[in-house]
A and B are shown apart, each in its own frame.
Chain A
Amino acid sequence: MSLSSLDRFAVQYPKGKMIFCEYEISDSFYLIQAGRVQITKIIGSIEKTLDVLNPGEIFGEMAILEQAPRSASAIALDEVLLLEFTRQNFETLLVGNPQIAIKLMKLFSKRIYDQRRRFMILKLANVQARVADVFLMLSETTPVSDQNENRRVFMTTPADIAQWAGISPEECRIIINTFVSQGRVEVFQDKIVVNNIHDFSRFVSSQRNKE
């Protein structure tokens, strides 16, 4: 692939420099040419790393759809070389570089699926079922070696689950503790174990039918 015609879109960031900040409104999206980019978010009193992106990856792509505040910050983890595009110039870019269109298509398909799944979770009125459904979602996206195995281990925390379920961290902790006392879940420092994922699956679908 030749991206040499795209030199005029190139921008460089020294190591440690912020590319954009969470909540900032801007309409650019980026393709990484060299170096790594860290995606972070301030949650409570800590700055959490959500992802580390490598050359060839795209970020800030929601700006193509609408001019909305950034949902996370992007920071140069190395000295970084980026191509910076806006909604106005990206169609010209795609005509000459269909591989970028394909990348975006893949990103968007993933997002569409994630958001649909998220909607299904949020639509449950019963908050316990929501929490259980978050575990189901996580289990759907993590490949398992043995489908007959009931036990699932998730590298996650009650605070993360709360975000997905659209409830407060306190409320989420209470619900998870109820599951713990019922022997359905075990909580560790860095992971949560669901003892029988199929039990959760039955619980969620019966709730969904009831509602």
Chain B
Amino acid sequence: MPKIAQYRSQSVIYFEGDKSEKIFILKAGKVSLNHTDIETGESLRNRVEGGEFFGVSSALGKYPRSEDALALSDTTLVVLTATEFEEFCMNNPKLAINMLRLFSTQLRKIHSSVRSLMHDEHLSDPESGLYRSGEFYLAHQSYGHAVHALDKYCSAYPRGRFIKNAQEYLNQALQALGESPRFDSSSIKAADSNQRETLGAQLKEELETGKVLFQKGEFKSAGKLFKRILEAGVEDLDVENTAQKLYGQCLYETEEYQDAIDIISRYVQKNSTDAKVHELLYCIGDSYFRIGNVERAKLFLQRAQTLVRDDTTFQEKVKEKLSTIGE
């Protein structure tokens, strides 16, 4: 049975980090939920409205409380166990739905925060991911799964970067299952392989031209070339990587910081062993600084710093930047 509990003004209902399966409803009085914003480090206070539930998420998920709950005046609360709360929801579907909506908003927010710190390959390049999954299953003779992945690829990306290979692999997988091929494979090959080779060679040449322009400091025109290479859907991974890395640096040099952050982060995520990764992290850090995101700027500069210990010139450069920021 739900119980009634009384709290004196200024007393603590629970502390952050406590584990408990109690859920509260504010009946009378004033309650404040205090927590530290994990992104900004700012202390936030939220007043609970009369009749509102609190402590739900931690009690249901059986996780430690993520905030302090304080009584601001003499307060009366209804206290439920997680099981009692569930019974309550069974009789009040509207409440359950509203609560779920609230959780969804919170979850979406924290998801996007996590994403901003970590480049998620599932979001950055789902096209190549789906294609590679198909390729993987085909190579491992899981033909049914290969058909699923490649079929989804072909319908989602009919003009995709890997479409010709995907069609061909899909045919192979279908054949292995004793089904008839979906695409006319002779025409896939003939029409495409020539065209593909010419395009590949052309993009390689453009990359070389881009490198020369980059060396000369002509970042605008070099950037345009790299962008085109990336958009053309180059198949040679080395070419793609080099183009991406240099394109990011061009954007940084031409002060398009937001795009620079995006492109360079993508590159770093895939190539964390690049010998120059500290320089790239520096570019990301400085870009954040230029767009006024000091927190993030510090984070990346400090990371760059921890990666190289023996390059004193670089260390100095980072130190100087950090002191400009006010660290």
Contact = CB atoms under 8 A, between A and B. Distances in A.
Interface in A159-208: 166-168, 170-171
A94 to B, nearest CB: 5
A113 B145 contact: no
Interface string A101-115: 110111011111101
Nearest to A118: B114
Interface residues of B, number: 56
B140 interface: yes
B141 to A, nearest CB: 12
Interface residues of A, number: 54
A115 B111 contact: yes
Interface string A80-117: 00000000000100111111011011101111110110
A110 B303 CA distance: 30
Given A99-B90, A105-B103, A120-B38, A113 B272 contact: no
Interface in A103-143: 104-106, 108-113, 115-116, 118-120, 122-123, 125-127, 140
Nearest to A45: B136
Interface in B250-278: 272-273
A18 B145 contact: yes
Interface string A25-54: 100000000000000001000010000000
A166 B113 CA distance: 14
A112 B110 CA distance: 7
Given A102-B96, A105-B99, A110 B63 contact: yes
Interface stretch (B44-52, B148-156, B205-213, B237-245): B148-156
Contacts of B89: 98, 101-102, 105
Interface stretch (B5-13, B116-124, B228-236): B116-124
B78 to A, nearest CB: 19
For the complex of A and B, the 9 pairs showing the least CB-CB separation, nearest first, are A109-B61, A23-B129, A69-B126, A101-B96, A168-B272, A125-B302, A23-B130, A108-B103, A98-B93
